[in-house]
Amino acid sequence: MDVKNNEKLENENLVKEMTLGQKIVEGRKIKKLSQEKFAEKMGCTRQMVSRWELDQSVPRTQKIKKISSILDISIEELMGEKYSKNNTSNNSTSKKPVNIKIVIKNILICVITLAALYLLYCGYKFLILNSISSRVAKYENANNYHVTIESCINNDINGKKEIWYKDGLYKIIETYIANNIEDISTLYIDINNGYRYLIDNKNKSYSQAKLFSTEQYDNGRYMYSLFPLELIKENSDFKQLTFYINKVFAYFKSNSLYLVINNENIQLDKDTLLPISQTILLKENQIVQKNCNKFYIELNNVTDEDVKVPNDYTKIN
């Protein structure tokens, strides 16, 4: 009995040590098939069978399955233990179940977290903008002020606008600078009577014209209209706007408040929140240009003489 078991083990070990080609030869002989007949059943040439048996070539997966079927030898036995282990490993990996509940739970946590962060961010923007707009809005109807606005490109002044306002009367002087040459225009506006006066300082004369609309000048609002758009409360629904503003960031520096909105750096006076400067970065011909408006605002310092057309100027019809 022991002799038979030993012979069986020796045969099994012998089979395991045989190459694939040797196993095909052995199986073909057991089935009493010549190379030609085996090749015919396999649907290939005798030369291909010869190459397999000499281990000069390895059959493809489909051919291995067909060899297994014709010779009644399992694929595991043909390919050896290596195939069996790899096959088992692949099956165990592929059959590993995916916990759908955990995946859905993780996705929901991510969505909720992102939504919460987004709402916090929008709330932060809304609080900043609403606070600033409500405090700046009190200057919409300022009755007495003098404003100077300097326009700069890369810190070089290229224009200046000065506004004096009191009791429905404006004086506006605009200066444009190009190639170191100044072009100055002076304008008086009388809201009370609905007229505008264009001044010729050189000839000490002026022309008078009827105002078609006083909306932007009424109640001293002209200064207010020159503020950065984000700070004009009446023109913006801040609850809606906060969802579209790319970036809002506020910080203090040298007793001034800086507010970054939509890539515009707006400097505000810490106490009054009146604009001090507004900076916009522009890219022109691949060169970054820093455009800036600097605001200088004085309240309650304008006299009656500042906003009246000079008596010695001649009216031109």
- Give the span between the Cα atoms of 303 and 283, in whole angstroms: 43
Residues of the chain with CATH 1.10.260.40: 2-94
Count how many Cα atoms sit within 13 Å of the Cα of residue 120 in the half-sphere of its side chain: 6
Question: 272-285: per-residue pLDDT in tens?
Answer: 888 888 888 777 67
**Tokens 């820093």, residue?**
290
Greatest alpha-carbon pair distance for the chain in Å reads 141
Do 161 and 175 form a contact (C-beta atoms < 8 A)?
yes
The pLDDT of residue 14 is above 70 = no
Count how many Cα atoms sit within 13 Å of the Cα of residue 20 in the half-sphere of its side chain: 23
Question: 82-120: per-residue pLDDT in tens?
Answer: 544 455 445 544 455 667 888 898 999 999 999 999 888
Determine whether domain 121-316 maps to CATH 2.50.20.10: yes
Question: 245-267: per-residue pLDDT in tens?
Answer: 667 788 888 888 888 887 788 88
Determine whether domain 2-94 maps to CATH 1.10.260.40: yes
Do 268 and 256 form a contact (C-beta atoms < 8 A)?
yes
- Measured from the Cβ of residue 15, the count of other Cβ atoms closer than 10 Å reads 15
Look at the chain and count its residues: 317
Question: What pLDDT score was predicted for residue 278?
Answer: 87
Segment 49-53 shows an average pLDDT of 85
Question: What pLDDT score was predicted for residue 92?
Answer: 47
Do 290 and 265 form a contact (C-beta atoms < 8 A)?
no
AA identity, residue 294: K
Question: 201-223: per-residue pLDDT in tens?
Answer: 888 999 999 998 888 888 888 88
Question: 134-160: per-residue pLDDT in tens?
Answer: 777 777 778 999 999 988 887 677 889
Q: Which two tokens stand for residue 293?
A: 């408006």
- With b for 16 or more beta-carbon neighbours within 10 A and e for fewer, the 92-121 pattern comes to eeeeeeeeeeeeeeeeeeeeeeeeeeeeee
In percent, the amount of the chain with pLDDT more than 70 equals 83
DSSP state of 68: H
Instruction: Tell which wins on pLDDT, 18 or 197.
Output: 197
- Give the span between the Cα atoms of 173 and 306, in whole angstroms: 12
pTM score, whole prediction: 0.59
Residues of the chain with CATH 2.50.20.10: 121-316
